[in-house]
Chain A
């Protein structure tokens, strides 16, 4: 694993341009992903995590648009590239696994035909090789290649999600972006899919950006974790460190909101209130209305990301050391 980043996102902001005014869904987000790294992005619904991911993959459609910042993938800034230029990168070097495999697969085409489409659209691959490669990637995710002739409805939810991942690996890309790929699955299927993704990643060396709302799911699989709240990064650091010692009150609240199946049964409080509407974000720290440690200046001063140990944290009281 080298430290050359495969992806570098810098100062990225995305607005939804609406009649009632622009809504900033992603606000000045910067992060990088190293080769072979597993980066988890967590946040609640409406925190901008899916918008961020779409911006990285250059899949945003109006009314959403990138208003500032850059997305540098293997040395190329993706923002402003034409469809043709993007097409040369998509699937070959970077692929995306969507949230719902039920909707992302074409219901009237066999799995094999959809694999063939991808390989034809993004490279000149001889017919024999298409068949061989399709069978190979399907085998990698533990599905019998006989299912290349199956239609999506003939597969279970877990198998459909796995074949989406197989499709993303057709060209052995350097980066696979996954948007909640396991959210429609049961715990058991979820667990086995996560283990499989991790095994493939270790074997093939691609980097993963994994977006989820379920922090506990990626606790054992991601190298670094980025916690988003109201369009901003609240905390970014090594996964194990965040789980061991969460710095931001929001991160801590999220971790404490999970009941455990082990240890004593303790009453939990969750986080009071609701995530803010991005059209009306609170002044000062965006988390202050829900924060148990709120101080007066938190309502006025918007905190910056501040390095603490080896992590980045957006909290005024952490920054001045008044909260430990």
Chain B
């Protein structure tokens, strides 16, 4: 399984599970947002976590940011379990090393303060050794790293464009000298012409600052552009994971194939009449055993009805949770029209 990779990595997640109780006292039900998920992130690595809304990808980010507590399972940062972070000092250190950048640059920055406020505040909190002047210097430095000019520190959020605000979000994260940035859909609200700049920034942070990024997205094409590794989630579980080029070139899980077939690609030939899936991702409430994709899967066999597939390594580093793929058969559920390339 993915958790037993030889290198401990920067961050390791083992059998992570998060359930939510829903319904009133009379109809108690359990929503399985994340179910038995294991993966790891190495240093200087961008890992893309992809899936439809409701697949549990944001829940994972919130578990890693310690906004939620796991129902079961454990997360290890630099080999130490997060559940052991008891003292405020340890917790503060962790949140400085693993900051989060949010989806909406319009609501994640306090509108009544100048943009330097957030940066200076996190510097004061996480790097108390810096003097007031040192904090300003450092704020100017991180602003330059993310492609803003230091004079923008004096601006108010409303004076900045969406792309600039999202860079402020990355500057705030960077000020804490992070090892891993949790970026939850950081570019999905930005205009096309601005997006690439932010993706390039993430790659630059990895390459020159040595920061790892967990890049949560539903946009596979942008994931491919920056990420080293891809984790595809479906209904709270990992469907497939591996080196991103490998997974995209040879997707083995039917769901990954469906996801790829849906990516609009102007460079691909026109294929309106492609096999179209009209299903929807299930709400994982009190699930029964079996593959959670089976209702949408054209290849489902009897085993899929009864046994929940677990991730198994089919090729080195490339794990798939699919009974059909694990029999060694070639999986061709949805064509992504990449035959010509």
Contact = CB atoms under 8 A, between A and B. Distances in A.
A265 B224 contact: yes
Contacts of B245: 265
A261 interface: yes
A195 B161 contact: no
B209 interface: no
B244 to A, nearest CB: 9
A195 B258 CA distance: 15
**Most A-side CB within 10 Å, residue of B191, B221, B248, B272:** B191
A39 B284 CA distance: 39
Interface residues of B, number: 47
A11 interface: no
Given A220-B272, A257-B193, A271-B193, A189 B264 contact: no
A186 B235 CA distance: 14
Contact of A214 (B197, B264, B277): B264
B69 interface: no
Contacts of B270: 220
B272 A262 contact: no
Contacts of A213: 191-192
B221 A259 contact: yes
Contact of A216 (B163, B265, B280, B338): B265
Interface string A196-217: 0010000000000000011111
A254 B200 CA distance: 16
A265 B225 contact: yes
A257 B262 contact: no
Nearest to A45: B191
Interface residues of A, number: 44
B125 interface: no
Contact of A263 (B163, B191, B219, B341): B341
A270 B190 CA distance: 12
Contact of A262 (B161, B193, B219, B338): B338
Nearest to A184: B53
Interface string B219-250: 11110110000000000000000000100100
A225 to B, nearest CB: 11
A257 B195 contact: yes
B198 to A, nearest CB: 9
A58 interface: no
Interface in A144-172: 156-159
Contacts of B262: 187-188, 190-192
B192 A192 contact: no
A254 B53 contact: no
A156 B263 contact: no
Contacts of B218: 186-187
B212 interface: no
A216 B248 CA distance: 19
B164 A274 contact: yes
Given A192-B278, A257-B192, A257-B193, A274 B161 contact: yes
A257 B277 CA distance: 28
Interface string B246-266: 001000000000111111111
B191 A44 contact: yes
A306 interface: no
Contacts of A67: none
A275 interface: yes
Contacts of B278: 142, 192
A262 B272 CA distance: 18
14 contacts: A158-B280, A159-B280, A186-B218, A188-B259, A188-B277, A217-B264, A219-B265, A258-B221, A258-B266, A259-B196, A260-B224, A269-B200, A274-B163, A274-B194
Given A192-B278, A220-B270, 12 more contacts: A44-B192, A158-B280, A187-B220, A188-B258, A188-B277, A191-B276, A192-B262, A213-B192, A214-B264, A270-B195, A270-B196, A274-B164
Q: Which 9 A-B pairs have the closest CB atoms?
A: A270-B196, A219-B266, A259-B225, A271-B193, A191-B262, A44-B191, A216-B264, A186-B52, A274-B161
